C-alpha cells in the first residue's frame, strides 16, 4: 500500500525510489530473451529476481532496468496503488 514515503518496498531485499520509475512492464518469455540478448540496455540491467523467473521490468530514469520476480500489476499497486 503506497504512502507518502518516496521509497517503496517491493520485497525483502528490493526498495525502489518511486519518483525515479518511468515504466513498469510485464515480461513474456520472448521479450525477456530479446532484452537479455540486446545491447540497447548498455549493461545497466540489474537482476533482482534472486533466482526466480523474471516477470517484470522496471525502467528507471537513470537508464537502468530492474528485473523483478513479482507480477507487473503487483509492482504497480505497491508503487502507485493502481
Domain boundaries, the chain: 7-80
Kindly report, residue by residue over 49-71, the tens digit of the pLDDT.
999 988 998 989 988 889 999 99
Q: What is the value of pTM for the model shown?
A: 0.81
Buried b (16+ CB within 10 A) or exposed e, 34-51: ebeeeeeeeeeeeebbee
pLDDT bucket at 81, cuts 50 / 70 / 90:
confident
Partners of residue 21 on adjacent β-strands: 60
Quote the CA–CA distance of 38 and 11 in Å, as a whole number. Answer: 27
In whole angstroms, give the CA distance from residue 41 to residue 23: 14
Amino acid at each position: 500500500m503506497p504512502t507518502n514515503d518516496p521509497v517503496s518496498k517491493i520485497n525483502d531485499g528490493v526498495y525502489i525510489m518511486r519518483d525515479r520509475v518511468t515504466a513498469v512492464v510485464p515480461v513474456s518469455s520472448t521479450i525477456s530473451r530479446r532484452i537479455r540478448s540486446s545491447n540497447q540496455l548498455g549493461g545497466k540491467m540489474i537482476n533482482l529476481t534472486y533466482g526466480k523467473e523474471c516477470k517484470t521490468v522496471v525502467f528507471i530514469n537513470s537508464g537502468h532496468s530492474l528485473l523483478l520476480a513479482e507480477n507487473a500489476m503487483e509492482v504497480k499497486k505497491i508503487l502507485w496503488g493502481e
